Amino acid sequence: MSDVETFRAPIIARATDQSQSSHILKRSWEGPGGIAGWLSTVDHKEIGKRYLITAFLFLIIGGLEAAIMRAQLAQPNEHLLTPEQYAQLFTMHGVTMIFLYALPVLSGFSNYLWPLLLGSRDMAFPRLNALSYWVFLFSGIFLYVSFSLGSAPDDGWFNYVPYSARAFNPGINIDVYALGMVLLGISTTVGAINFIVTLLRLRAPGMSINRVPILIWGTLTASVGNLFAVPAVSLAFFMLWMDRQFGTHFFDASAGGQPLLWQHLFWMFGHPWVYAIVLPAMGIVSDGLPTFCRRPLVGYTPVALATVSTMALGFGVWVHHMFATGLPIMAVSYFSAASMIIVIPSSVAVFSWIATIWTGRPVFTSAFLFFAGFVLLFVIGGVSGFMTAAVPVDLQLTQTYFIVAHLHYVLIGINVFPVVGGIFYWFPKFTGRLMNETLGKWTFWVMFIGFNVGFFPMHILGLAGMPRRIYTYAEGLGWGPLNLIVTLGSYLFAIGVLLFVVNVFVSLKRGQRAGDNPWDGASLEWSTSSPPPVYNFAVIPTVASRYPLWEGRLNQGDDRSSTQQGFLLDKGRETIGTTSLDAEPDVILKMPSNTYAPLLLGVALAVLFIGALLHSWWLLGAAVVVSLLASIAWLWPERALSQIET
């Protein structure tokens, strides 16, 4: 009866991209070309690139918003913007950078790199990966549609009640934000699920849990964090929307509701989220820096543990965003202490990076400069964070430009610098060409100087009492000169970002050809072609250490990884599933082909939220039905996936 194989002893072969078997693999893994292929692809490399490009577009949009605000603040008593326009700009700037750039750009790296770092042919759920991208894209567009109508979210990115309640904010501004965030939460959650299951299941044989690159630890930790944190914010926004549209009373003090509940739910999510948008970036540095220091990372195990413990502690510090709300002193003291303890894992990582540079033989490439610059900015941002973890200091500094300075040192320093460095590092793998090094070094110095000139004076402005989120300020306060310097510095930083974009476009066309491993890196992605073939690896690699491509010179143990010889798995789209801790071969996984189901489901979900926004219940109902049908079609058991036998 059974004509689908249920068990197989897989063939172990020696093969390269030129082998006959690789042509067969290429045929199996290649989807249709043209627009059909573009819309139906489930290839993690395509999805990763889309994430990177879309997130960078949002970075540029958010940067332009900041540039307009800095023009307004360059001098006292400017009238370029009205207060209402300014409120929308600073809100959309925050929303864009924190939600539409910072995590998605890291998802881009991880989507592209994870299977290559892990020695797999795709992510655990390729179709879910496509869904995650489409929903991210649609929620970004959703959040921006009202911007063009002049009624964008305007209550800051943390959207405190009661100002975001309907009585004080009757337009659709806040409803767009509320529903857009719930939609984006779906994308984040399914993305996180994909990373977690991929880590547990899809590592190359031999890549036990203590051999995975630190980027994997970073993204894994971020994903587990998101799995537990995102529901808080989705729920908070849903309850706010209910309060605004259906007259519930969750945050309505006059009917027994609790405005502070909003802040609790928001920051129970918000603080883990902050770590979710930096830990993978720190992972980029922990993997990239050793390549340019010509030695393994100092302290792999402490750095991996520091990554995980930072997130674990990160779930217990949310009240440090709420020190000024009048909570009992006993409660805030606990959260103050917990926040200070985070210094320990952070310092472990910092000393590991410094020791890696110190004891290595650094090669001063553009990527190295960005990684090393990041370490300094991380320390500055960490010190200002430590300062505001102390309750009395925070009471003085909260809602001032000191906080603006701190969060930009943390987010630009720990996210943007590693991301740009990471692009310099992996661009040859993505495209087969190197980026221009001379321009790259100029880019670094322009960005680094511009950033510090632009953002360091904000500390002083905050200490001088300048509140954040004011659209202008009076002349006699003495804030004018520093604000002018801030504006000029941030424009210099923007020029640096522009140089980087120019470098990307020029190098795409004229960059020097890169071989498989231009930096002589140690991890598995450098063992395959640049750019990688659609099937990633001609054979599934077998891993014997943390640095599979450096084993010859490191001389640690006798076992050798093998990238040329391993499981062939050429019967359609297949990859190997391994056990969670030891990565022993466990199952031959059948991987899905190109499909429109994720796009269809993504569109239906977007329409569902549009229906909710417009109170168009028939549209919402139709979208629910289409979503359910698309899900059923998606999950329909297939023989090709060996889900049914007959």
Partner 1 sequence: MVEVAVSRTTLPVGSEAHHASGWWGMLTVIATEATLFAYLLFSYFYIASHAQGAWPPHGMPKLSLAIPCTILLVAGSYTMWWAERGIERGKPVQLMIGIALSLALGLAFMALEGMEWAGEPFHLTTGVYSSLFFTITGFHLAHVAVGLLVLAVLFLWTALGYFDANRHSAVSIGVLYWHFITIVWLAVFFTFYIAPRL
Cβ closer to partner 1: 205 or 385?
205
Q: Of residues 324, 470, 581, 644, which one binds partner 1 by CB under 8 A? A: 644
Q: Is residue 612 close enough to count as binding partner 1 by CB under 8 A?
A: no
Minimum distance, C-beta of residue 205 to partner 1, in the bound complex (Å): 10
Residue 581, both tokens: 């801790």
Which residue of 11, 331, 383, 614 would you call a contact of partner 1, by CB under 8 A?
Answer: 11
Give the burial class of 646: count Cβ atoms within 10 A of its Cβ; 0-12 exposed, 13-18 middle, 19 or more buried: exposed
Among 153, 206, 225, 257, contact with partner 1 (rule: CB under 8 A) = 257
Q: Site mask, partner 1, residues 76-115, x = CB under 8 A?
A: ----------------------------------------
- Helix or strand holding residue 542 (H, E): strand 540-542
Binding of residue 124 to partner 1 (CB under 8 A): yes
Residue 264 contacts partner 1 per CB under 8 A: yes
Distance of CA 456 to the CA centre of its chain: 25
User: Quick check: 532 and 7 in contact, CB under 8 A?
Assistant: no
The count of C-alpha atoms lying within 13 angstroms of the C-alpha of 266, restricted to the half-sphere facing its C-beta, is 20
Following DSSP, what letter does each residue of 261-310 receive, concatenated? HHHHHHHHHHHHHHHHTTHHHHHHHHHHHHHHHTSPPTTHHHHHHHHHHH
Q: Which of residues 181-200 bind partner 1 (CB under 8 A)?
A: 189, 192-193, 196-197, 200
Q: If binding is defined by CB under 8 A, does position 10 make contact with partner 1?
A: yes
Query: Does residue 261 bind partner 1 (CB under 8 A)?
Result: yes
Q: Which stretch binds partner 1 (CB under 8 A): 27-35, 62-70, 302-310, 631-639?
A: 631-639
Q: Which is nearer to partner 1, 151 or 579 (CB)?
A: 579
Tell me the site size for partner 1, rule CB under 8 A.
Answer: 71
Q: Pick from 22, 187, 336, 503 the residue near partner 1 by CB under 8 A.
A: 22
How many whole angstroms separate alpha carbon 441 and alpha carbon 255? 59
Phi, psi of 578 (to 5 degrees): -125, 170
User: Contact 419/109 with Cβ under 8 angstroms?
Assistant: yes
134-154 residues labelled b (16+ CB within 10 A) or e (exposed):
bbbbbbbebbbebbeeebbbb
CB of 127 to partner 1, least distance (A): 11
User: Between residues 296 and 577, which has the closer beta carbon with respect to partner 1?
Assistant: 577
Q: Determine which residue in the list 3, 20, 33, 79 makes contact with partner 1, applying CB under 8 A.
A: 20
How far apart are CB 327 and partner 1 at their closest, in Å? 12
**Residue closer to partner 1 (CB basis): 42 or 377:** 42
DSSP-based three-state secondary structure for 327: coil
Going by DSSP bridges, is the β-strand pair 540-542/585-590 parallel, antiparallel, or unpaired?
A: unpaired
To partner 1, the closest distance from the beta carbon of 27 in angstroms equals 14
Site string for partner 1, 522-551 (x = CB under 8 A): ----------------x-------------
Q: How far apart are CA 535 and CA 552, in angstroms?
A: 27
- How many CA atoms lie within 13 Å of 298's alpha carbon, on the beta-carbon side? 14
Q: Does 643 help bind partner 1 (rule: CB under 8 A)?
A: yes
CA 118, CA 239: separation in Å to the nearest integer?
A: 40
By the rule CB under 8 A, 626 interacts with partner 1: no
CB of 155 vs partner 1, minimal distance in Å: 20
d(CA 59, CA 40): 26
Contact set for partner 1, span 408-447 (CB under 8 A):
none
Identified binder of partner 1 from the candidate list 15, 105, 113, 486, rule CB under 8 A: 15
Among 5, 84, 475, 559, binds partner 1 (CB under 8 A): 5
Which residue in 368, 393, 381, 353 sits closest to 452, CA to CA? 381
Q: 587: part of which helix (H) or strand (E)?
A: strand 585-590
Return the range that interacts with partner 1 (CB under 8 A); candidates 10-18, 487-495, 511-519, 545-553: 10-18
Closest to partner 1 by CB, 84 or 645: 645
The answer to the question of residue 21 lying near partner 1 (CB under 8 A) is yes
Looking at beta carbons only, is 321 or 429 nearer to partner 1? 321
In the block, tokens 């040859």 appear at 428
Residue 12 binding partner 1, by CB under 8 A: yes
Does 121 contact partner 1 by CB under 8 A?
Answer: no
Decide if residue 216 touches partner 1 (CB under 8 A).
no
Among 245, 472, 616, 642, binds partner 1 (CB under 8 A): 642
Bridge partners of 589?
575
Return the number of other C-beta atoms located less than 10 Å from residue 635's C-beta. Answer: 11
What character string, x for contact with partner 1 (CB under 8 A) and - otherwise, covers 556-595?
---------x-xx--------x-------xxxxxx-----
Structure tokens at 324: 């000024």
Q: Which of 92, 174, 232, 612 binds partner 1 (CB under 8 A)?
A: 232
> Could you say which residues in the range 125-164 bind partner 1, by CB under 8 A?
125, 128
Beta carbon of residue 6, minimum distance to partner 1 (angstroms, whole number): 6
Q: 2 vs 301, which CB is nearer to partner 1?
A: 2
Q: Please, are residues 566 and 205 in contact by the beta-carbon 8 Å criterion? A: yes
From 64-72, 121-129, 148-156, 170-178, give the range in contact with partner 1 by CB under 8 A. Answer: 121-129
Residue from 231, 302, 465, 531 touching partner 1 (CB under 8 A): that is 231
Judged by CB under 8 A, the stretch of 2-10, 34-42, 61-69, 456-464 that binds partner 1 is 2-10
DSSP state of 645: -
| Interface positions, 235-254, toward partner 1 (CB under 8 A) | 235, 239, 242, 246-250, 252
DSSP state string for 422-437:
HHHHHHHHHHSBPPPH
Q: What part of residues 35-64 is at the interface with partner 1 (CB under 8 A)?
A: none
Query: Which residue in 527, 535, 524, 641 sits closest to 588, CA to CA?
Result: 641
Give me the DSSP letters along 66-84.
Answer: HHHHHHHHSSTT--SS-HH
Footprint on residues 444-503 left by partner 1 (CB under 8 A) = none
Least distance from C-beta 225 to partner 1, angstroms?
11
Binders in 268-287 for partner 1, by CB under 8 A: 268
State how far the Cα of 273 lies from the Cα of 253, in Å rounded to an integer. Answer: 28
Mapped onto helix, strand or coil, the DSSP state of residue 249 is coil
Residue 518 CA to residue 424 CA, distance in Å, equals 12
Q: Give the N- to C-terminal CA distance of the chain in Å, as an integer.
A: 7
The alpha helices in 165-213, defined as continuous H runs, are 173-201
Q: Which is nearer to partner 1, 495 or 633 (CB)?
A: 633
Please state, in angstroms and rounded to a whole number, the distance separating the CA atoms of residues 227 and 185.
10
Q: Which is nearer to partner 1, 208 or 388 (CB)?
A: 208
